[in-house]
A and B are shown apart, each in its own frame.
Chain A
């Protein structure tokens, strides 16, 4: 399944899209934090994680192909951990033994991983590139950190397309057919692709320097007003995070 990197940004059409950009970003971050904080080895904790991911998914309503891609990627990344269960110290010696304590470990990795991915991707789909910029400039993040983060996001696209071009060139020049040609192309990649990317990064840093990108604080391009709905959503997501923390502290 092919999903264009830039196509994911701002592709969600859930009710959350109407909130201020900083509310969307902060809420996503709080819910992601809640998923990571909630104890995944208790029934209550797991339930909370599942509810957070599902509700946020519905609130952001990302395109089905993006959800399918996230779920497939999550399964590929996190399901193999279950294969390691017999090697864990808590694993019973026989098949009929109590596997629950041992299964709690890969289950924690799986549910946190999947829910974290779904929450982050859903958040990305309700933020366009410029929404993300606006959100970062409005949140109390140190200027240097927000400038670096914004450029990482912005330049990831550039590097993604650069890599796609290199992959296309490799395919055209016979590297996709395997054998000696593939080996020669692949072995030259670190000496060709890396300097190309470094050179590009240097030119971008020159441009940033020239245009005064990092000289002063991040500037806002639009004036957006925070409404009561934004405050309500932030309070709710804050409460969810607090609940997750409480479950973890009291091991419920």
Chain B
């Protein structure tokens, strides 16, 4: 794999052909290991940009993941090396038991069930949900579901993580713990959030979106604090 881990080249997304684009003319490259906060107000296009990166919404322009253009042929390969966290964790939890959900990515890749379960248990332990391994998913709190969904995304050790509002609904200690976990990862992370405190804890680059366009791309938060008059 060479070059940026994810690259948008003049990418626009329209949900309706005649409608204004949800994101317009986005050019952005994220290098391996980089931690990018995608910030902006509600409706600024943060989620759309993440969804476009894994081909869940049709786009104009070009998206490259690990140097490979996102096309129908490459889409499942690219998805296989991308961890994605939806803003409602419940939506991506597909199995009745925590450990099964976490290990699914490994089992799908052909790892023997026992090996997959022990590897999943290690990830669960790192995320502080090991004690919930045998618990049914519907017994978990929002924060626990968030961690389980993240564990499911991390278990295959993807080089790219796309996280949509991962701190939403978490209590302050939960946010701090999640930020600490994310800061220890080697993967490139793009996190869509409007939680300044959370982003400041582990991100090194701050991209601000406004009305679907990038209005600032810097390594400090000064722009956003002045933009939001904080």
Residue B152 is within 8 A (CB to CB) of chain A in the complex: yes
* Binary per-residue interface labels of chain A (212-228) against chain B in the complex, 1 for a CB within 8 Å, 0 otherwise: 11011001111100000
Query: Which chain A residues lie closer than 8 Å to B79 at the CB level?
Result: 209-210, 212
In the complex, how many residues of chain B place their beta carbon closer than 8 angstroms to a beta carbon of chain A?
31
Query: Which chain B residues lie closer than 8 Å to A212 at the CB level?
Result: 76, 79-80, 105, 108
Query: Which chain B residues lie closer than 8 Å to A213 at the CB level?
Result: 94, 104
Bound form: Cα–Cα A219–B105 in Å: 10
Bound form: Cα–Cα A212–B80 in Å: 8
8 Å CB contact of B91 from A130, A151, A207, A222: A207
Cβ of B56 and Cβ of A210 under 8 Å apart? yes
CB distance from A165 to the nearest CB of B (A): 12
Residue B97 is within 8 A (CB to CB) of chain A in the complex: yes
Cβ of B96 and Cβ of A203 under 8 Å apart? no
Cβ of B113 and Cβ of A6 under 8 Å apart? no
8 Å CB contact of A129 from B84, B114, B136: B136
* Binary per-residue interface labels of chain A (81-119) against chain B in the complex, 1 for a CB within 8 Å, 0 otherwise: 000000000000000000000000000000000000000
Give the segment of A53-61, A154-162, A184-192, A244-252 that binds chain B. A154-162
Cβ of B91 and Cβ of A203 under 8 Å apart? yes
Known: A207-B86, A209-B56, A210-B56. A154 touches B95 (CB 8 A): yes
Q: Which of chain A's residues 124-168 have a Cβ closer than 8 Å to chain B?
A: 128-130, 132-133, 151, 154, 157-158, 161
CB distance from A155 to the nearest CB of B (A): 9
Known: A161-B138, A207-B86. A219 touches B104 (CB 8 A): yes
Residue A69 is within 8 A (CB to CB) of chain B in the complex: no
Cβ of B100 and Cβ of A133 under 8 Å apart? yes
Residue A2 is within 8 A (CB to CB) of chain B in the complex: no
Cβ of B92 and Cβ of A129 under 8 Å apart? no
In the complex, how many residues of chain A place their beta carbon closer than 8 angstroms to a beta carbon of chain B?
29
Residue B90 is within 8 A (CB to CB) of chain A in the complex: yes
Cβ of B86 and Cβ of A203 under 8 Å apart? yes
8 Å CB contact of B96 from A132, A208, A216: A132
Cβ of A133 and Cβ of B95 under 8 Å apart? yes
CB distance from B61 to the nearest CB of A (A): 21
Bound form: Cα–Cα A138–B116 in Å: 19
Number of A-B contacts (CB under 8 A): 82
Cβ of B86 and Cβ of A129 under 8 Å apart? no
Query: Which chain A residues lie closer than 8 Å to B94 at the CB level?
Result: 151, 154, 204, 207-208, 211, 213
Task: Please give me the 5 A-B residue pairs with the lowest Cβ-Cβ distance, nearest first.
Answer: A129-B96, A207-B92, A219-B107, A203-B91, A130-B97
Nearest neighbor of B54 in chain A, beta-carbon distance: A210
Query: Which chain A residues lie closer than 8 Å to B88 at the CB level?
Result: 203
Q: Which of chain B's residues 78-127 have a Cβ closer than 8 Å to chain A?
A: 79-80, 84, 86, 88, 90-92, 94-97, 99-100, 103-105, 107-108, 113-114, 116-117
Query: Which chain B residues lie closer than 8 Å to A206 at the CB level?
Result: 51, 56, 86, 91
Residue A13 is within 8 A (CB to CB) of chain B in the complex: no
Query: Which chain A residues lie closer than 8 Å to B104 at the CB level?
Result: 211, 213, 219
Bound form: Cα–Cα A52–B96 in Å: 30
Bound form: Cα–Cα A207–B136 in Å: 19
Known: A203-B91, A210-B54, A212-B80. A128 touches B105 (CB 8 A): no
Query: Which chain A residues lie closer than 8 Å to B80 at the CB level?
Result: 212
Cβ of B56 and Cβ of A128 under 8 Å apart? no
Nearest neighbor of A220 in chain B, beta-carbon distance: B113
Known: A6-B138, A129-B97, A133-B96. A221 touches B108 (CB 8 A): no
